[in-house]
Structure 1
Amino acid sequence: MDRGSLATATATAAVGDLDPAVCFGAVMHERHVAAHNRFVYPSAFLRLPLSRIDALRVPLLGIERAAAFSFRRRDHGARDGSPLLPWLHRILDAHGLRHACDGEVVLQTMPRVLGYVFNPVSFWFCHDASGRLRVVLAEVSNTFGERHNYLVHHPDLRPIESGDELRASKIFHVSPFFPVRGEYRFRFERRPGLHAVTVDLWDDGVLQLSTRLGGRAEALDGRAMRRWLLRQPFMTLGVIARIHWQALRLAVRRVRFHSKPLPPLEETSR
């Protein structure tokens, strides 16, 4: 192993689940019904412990300020720039889950890149005081400017282990090529230096869509952010462009189009 690879491996091994991190990997989507379609694109995302976010000082990454990469509270939660943890705590309180989530909350998301961001989904990993994962909030956005949150956890609130399957009914419109029905099945994979989320959409016992977002964690520092900027300087613009490109491909193949219904009345479901 050369010195560069050794340095990367050492940095990866040193990044814990609750540490600030940048993850380099890929996103995969596979449509299993009517006009099979599969694509894989390179991706990257941040993992930010919310109790420490205001103290982060990382070259190229601005927290509530302009930079090549920037994190803004108004892109999440109440979307008004207010603190994020009180917003999350209100949701957990409303669903009787706060007592199980008295530890760190790690927000996994994409930052603004050169001022622009679109996050199809961000994940809020809610841990107990011992660092065990208990609840995950999936904050989903569609291209119509609407948002919805799915809360997933075990019915008995036991710790969520790597590979456990958690379910939530689909009630929010995302793609016009799928109706608003069925069930999401979530799996959260955590191995040393690796974070991955798999979300499968099932309807009437048939697998409709598989998605996976994963990446290897590195310390959140200037070296990692410079590499991100050099490799994918327009990544967030690319997200929205690729969504529309894949939609065009399905439209050309005459896949059934479902009109957008009204969004759900509730902000959060489980």
Structure 2
Amino acid sequence: MTAPATRADAPATATTVPALYLCDVAHVRTSPRRHTVRHRTYMWCTDPDRPPRLPYALRALARFDPRDHFGGTAPTIRAALDTYLAAQGIDLHGGPVTMLTHARVLGYVFNPLTLYWCHDPAGVLRCVVAEVHNTYGERHCYLLRTDSERGRPAGVTEEFDVDKEFYVSPFFPVDGRYRMRLPEPGDRLRLSIRLARDGSHPFTATVRGTRRPATTARLLRTAVRHPLSTLAVSAAIRLHGIRLFLRGLPVLPRPRHQPQEGVE
């Protein structure tokens, strides 16, 4: 497998990419029924400008397809990101981006969450983009601006508050606010997203991971341990949804999704 090391203009906190993160994912509901879902998977940390080039025989194990992100029509994922950011009035001027995502495996991918840490050419974090997919084939992006982008004193920003705007779970309406804690990946990956509604926190998602070098041997071992990884994630989400429905949770109607500029 061939891939560049950290770019010369990358931020000092950036890790060498590409890398694999072996992850524990947990979804904890406390209302209207307490329910916890846990599963193990793996994610890729890479540069959307230059995704990894796998040996021909392994390419079916990891494909990074622009059709799976944003509007799905750009020639590259980075071009799609830049188009979306331009619609929000942000120009990175070619600065580096760190992307955390699932790759296509044997032609299939389901990406509940892809994250992009977006820096200017000096390596200063300008914003984070959280690209969310639901199981209905829809996608939505949350633009999370850093303090410097919001006119506050510049500093390291790891926590963001944003209104919920997208239908994900059929058991929660599209209201409330998310508190997202999204430090840029290092040796460890520690992400959390908490939903706040009516003075309570009925849902929390966490991702905990350990960085591993994206070598051919590591990818083969990981693919064997987690075959069809994103299909397994999609199936687990649907299975637990069925269980919640059978426990009596009502399914809330899904509002018509309004596509964003630069997003399908």
1:141 to 133, 136, 149: 133
2:20 to 4, 19, 22: 22
1:111 to 103, 125, 128: 103
Percent of aligned pairs with the same residue?
32
Q: What amino acid maps onto 1:126 in structure 2?
A: C
- Any gaps of 5 or more consecutive residues in structure 1? 1-14
Correspondence 1:201 to 2:199: no
What's the TM-score, normalizing by structure 2? Answer: 0.85
Deviation digits for residues 222-251 of structure 1 (CA, Å, limit 9, x no counterpart): 022111111011211111110111101111
SS in 2 for 1:245: helix
Correspondence 1:74 to 2:70: no
Deviation digits for residues 42-95 of structure 1 (CA, Å, limit 9, x no counterpart): 110001112322xx3334653xxxx23322121112213522222222222222
CA distance in 1, matches of 2:61, 2:159: 37
What's the TM-score, normalizing by structure 1? Answer: 0.83
1:254 Cα deviation from its structure 2 partner: 0.8
- Any gaps of 5 or more consecutive residues in structure 2? 1-12
1:154 Cα deviation from its structure 2 partner: 2.6
Q: How many residues are aligned here? A: 246
CA distance in 2, matches of 1:130, 1:213: 29
CA distance in 2, matches of 1:192, 1:266: 31
Q: Is the 8 A contact 1:61 1:70 kept in 2?
A: no
CA distance in 1, matches of 2:228, 2:65: 18
The structure with the largest strand share of the pair is 1
1:38 to 16, 36, 39: 36
Q: Is the 8 A contact 2:25 2:38 kept in 1?
A: yes
1:151 to 138, 143, 150: 143
Correspondence 1:94 to 2:90: no
In structure 2, the residue matched to 1:245 is 239
Q: Is the 8 A contact 2:163 2:176 kept in 1?
A: yes
